[in-house]
Amino acid sequence: MIVKAAMRSHFDPSAPEASRPNPNYLVQTGNRLRQMDRPKDPANLDAEIEHEFLDQQCPGFFRRDLDVGNNRHLIFYTDRQMELLAKAKTWYMDGTFRVVNNPWK
């Protein structure tokens, strides 16, 4: 974990625990700072996808933007993931939609 490595290299482990920062607060601060670099969430499904941002984060991961009827489908995968799926006898899928923000449900 990045926070633990940073704490080991920048803080005195012999110092009283109360004088050291709480690792959870450091994680929260890091996430807030990274959030400023992310594009804003779209208000509707007609929003344009910032392909350059996606390619900077993980080149080749974003594959297709499809409209099928009234539904929009964004396809993401790496070459390695496709190789593994091609070899699999059975695919299992998860629909954990409660963690997905609108309008991406």
Q: Please, are residues 7 and 66 in contact by the beta-carbon 8 Å criterion?
A: no
pLDDT in tens, 20-78: 777 777 778 878 888 887 777 788 888 888 778 778 878 889 999 999 998 888 899 99
Q: Please, are residues 61 and 53 in contact by the beta-carbon 8 Å criterion?
A: no
In this predicted structure, the answer to whether residue 79 has a pLDDT above a threshold of 80 is yes
Helix H or strand E encompassing 62: strand 62-68
Q: What is the pTM of this model?
A: 0.54
Where does residue 91 rank: exposed (0-12), middle (13-18), buried (19+ CB within 10 A)? exposed
Instruction: Name the one residue in this structure whose structure tokens are 């900077």.
Output: 56
Q: Where are the domains of the chain?
A: 59-105
In this predicted structure, the answer to whether residue 87 has a pLDDT above a threshold of 90 is yes
